[in-house]
Amino acid sequence: MPRVTDFSVAVVGAGPAGLYAAEALTKGGVRVDVFDRLPTPYGLVRYGVAPDHKSIKSIARYLQRVLEHPGVRFFGCVELGGDITREELLGCYDAVVYSTGAMVDRRLGVPGEDLPGSIAATDFVNWYCGHPDAAGHSFDLSVEEVAVVGVGNVAVDVVRILAKTAAELAETDIPVAVLDELSRSRVKRVHLIGRRGPAHAKFTTKEARELGELPAASVSVRPEDLELDVESAALEAADRHVRGNLAAMRAWAGEPAEGRERHIDLRFWRAPVEILGTDRVEGLRVERTELVDGKVRGTGEYETLPVGMVVRSVGYRSVPLDGVPFDERASVIRNEKGRIAEGEYTAGWIKRGPSGVVGTNKSDAAETVGVLLSELGSRPRPVTDIESVLRAKGVEFVTYQSWLGLDAAEIALAKSLSRGERVKLGTWDAMRAACPPH
C-alpha cells in the first residue's frame, strides 16, 4: 500500500468549507488540488460577507495560509461539469471532496414575484460584493422605499448596505461602479419583514446592534410587535441570543422616523402575500400573522407597503452536480458524515444545508476528512495527471501565483483611490487582465 503522502485529493470549491477540508487533508499528509470556477479563492468570505464586515473578511488571511502550503495547488477558472467532468476528476485523484456551497435563492411563491424590481438577495449581495457574474446587474435605486423579506444575517446585511451612505461605504472593497451607483441611491426607508415575531429572528445580536449604530439611519419597531406570546417568552428565558436581540429592539420601540437621512422599519408578524404592480414593483401586500400551536397562520388583516423594490432573503439552496446523488427536498448531496460513495465526499453547505457561521465549516470539514482518511487506498490508484487533462482540453486555469497578481492589483487600486485596504475588480475582463490564465 502506498504511503499516505503518496495520496492526492481534489477539493471542488475554494470557499471556507473547501479550504478547511484542504487544511485537514494536508495535516493527514495528503496532497491537495483545490478547484474553483472563479479566478479567486475564498468563496463566501469574498463574495458573501458584507463589505463593511472587515473582521469577518479577515478570515481570508487564515485561509491564505492553507493555499500557501507546499502540498496545496489552486486551479482557478476550472468549472466542474464544464471544464472538467466528475469522471475525469475521479480518474486523476484518490478521492474528491465537493464543497460548492449553496448560492441559489429560495423563492417566496407569491403573485408578482417576477415583476421587475422583485429581486433575490443573492443577486444584490453578489453585486455589491463584486462577483463578476453580477457585474452587468442593475438595480433601480431611484425608489424611496424598499422591502427586504427575511430576518437572517443576509437580510440585515442588505438593509444595512441600503441604509448606509456612499461616504460610509467608501473604505470598503466595494467595486468603483457599484459604489457610484449606491451614491445615487434615493432610498429613504427600508422595511425588514419577518413572518414570525422578534424572538424568532435569525440575525445575530451583533448584526442587530450594528443597525442601531448607523449614523445616517434611524431604526424603529412597533411596541405591539414586541409583545411576547408564551412560546416567545420561553425562548427569551432560555436563549441568550434571543435576549440580546430583544434588548436591542426594545431600545428602538416607538422611535420616530424623522431626523435622519434614512429610516429602517422592522416589521414582525407579517407575511408577504402579493407583490403589486403592472410593469414593475409598486407595492407589497402583507398579512398580519400569529402563532397557533407553534405554526404561523394568517389573521386576515392586510396592509400594503408602498415600496418600489422587494428583496427576498428567505434562504439559500444548493445546485445538484452531474452524477452526484442529490436530495432535492433537503437541497444537499446525499451523504453519511460527508461520505457519498467510494472516493467521493462532501463538506460545507452542500453537505449539511445553509447553516452556521464561517467557522462552522471547520468542524464540518474535519468530520468529512476523518472519514476520507480512514478509507484512502480502498480504490484503484489514479493514473492520469490533471494538468495534462486540462491542457489536452484547452482549459486555461489560474494558479495561486496568478491570483496574487489580481490580489496586488486590487490593493494598488485602493491605494490610488485612498479607499482602504482593497477595492475589488468586479468584471471578468478586469480580473482576467490582472491574473492571466495558464
80 labelled ligand-binding = yes
For 314, phi and psi rounded to 5 degrees? -115, 25
Grid coordinates in use for 166? 456612499
Grid coordinates in use for 35? 478547484
Q: Are 55 and 177 in contact (CB under 8 A)?
A: no
Residue with the three cell numbers 495528503: 30
C-alpha 62/C-alpha 55 separation (Å) is: 12
C-alpha 385/C-alpha 89 separation (Å) is: 10
- The count of other CB atoms within 10 Å of the CB of residue 394 is 7
195 labelled ligand-binding = yes
For 302, phi and psi rounded to 5 degrees? -115, 160
270 labelled ligand-binding = no
Is residue 221 classed as helix, strand or coil in its secondary structure?
A: strand
Is residue 75 classed as helix, strand or coil in its secondary structure?
A: strand
410 labelled ligand-binding = no
Residue with the three cell numbers 435563492: 105
Contacts with 170 (C-beta within 8 Å, 6 or more apart), sequence order: 179, 419, 420
196 labelled ligand-binding = yes
C-alpha 139/C-alpha 234 separation (Å) is: 41
349 labelled ligand-binding = yes
Is residue 181 classed as helix, strand or coil in its secondary structure?
A: helix
C-alpha 354/C-alpha 290 separation (Å) is: 26
17 labelled ligand-binding = yes
For 150, phi and psi rounded to 5 degrees? 130, 150
Across 216-360, the runs of DSSP E, i.e. the strands, are 217-221, 262-267, 270-276, 283-292, 295-305, 309-312, 316-317, 326-327, 332-333, 339-341, 344-346
Q: Are 163 and 217 in contact (CB under 8 A)?
A: yes
End-to-end CA distance of the chain: give it in Å, rounded.
Answer: 35
Residue type at 221 in one-letter notation? V
For 307, phi and psi rounded to 5 degrees? -95, 155
Which residues belong to the annotated binding site for NADP(+)?
A: 195-196, 207, 356
Residue ranges at the known binding site for FAD = 17, 44, 80, 349
Annotated binding site: 17, 44, 80, 195-196, 207, 349, 356
